[in-house]
Amino acid sequence: MKVETKVYLPADLSRALDQLATRTRRPKSEIVRAAVAAFLSPDGAERTEAAMVRRLDRMNRHMERIEREAQVSAEALAIFIRAWLISTPSVSAEDRSAAHAVGSKRYSVFLETLTRRLTSGPTLADQAFNPQPQPGDEPTASAPDSGS
């Protein structure tokens, strides 16, 4: 048995209900019934909280991976800069313009290589975090998932 109930909604909420009904091709009464049932459901809040926790956990893992990749990138850059500074001799004043021209050319080649590498093929992060087995390497058993 259905009981008729009148509900007054603010104009913006009414517009949103109309748009949802049009978009989903469902009657407004069905949408309102489902919303009221979800609101009154004793486990509705727990389901919502569980969904939020799952999403936050996924976001947290993603942020941890980004942080780790940033640390590896910064460390790789620091190692490169240190090696470059140690091995690069100083340039005399009369050779600076020629060195600048060569440096500009090398930088252009570097940017082209970087662009090509980022758009096609494995990145340094891929290689660092997912190393490919080398010929002759024995496969190792993966550790059981700890549930984190």
Task: Give pLDDT, residue 43.
Answer: 80
Residue at 3: amino acid letter: V
Regions of the chain short of the pLDDT cut 70:
124-125, 131-148
Task: Give pLDDT, residue 60.
Answer: 96
Residue with tokens 């087995």: 133
Q: What pTM value is reported for the model?
A: 0.45
CB neighbour list of residue 72: distance below 8 Å, 6 or more residues apart: 124, 125, 128, 129
50-67 pLDDT tens trace:
889 999 999 999 999 999
Structure token digits, residue 68 = 């780790």
Measured distance between the N- and C-terminal CA atoms of the chain, rounded to whole angstroms:
48
For 31, counting Cβ atoms within 10 Å of its Cβ (0-12 exposed, 13-18 middle, 19+ buried), the class is: middle
Q: Which helix (H) or strand (E) holds 101?
A: helix 96-119
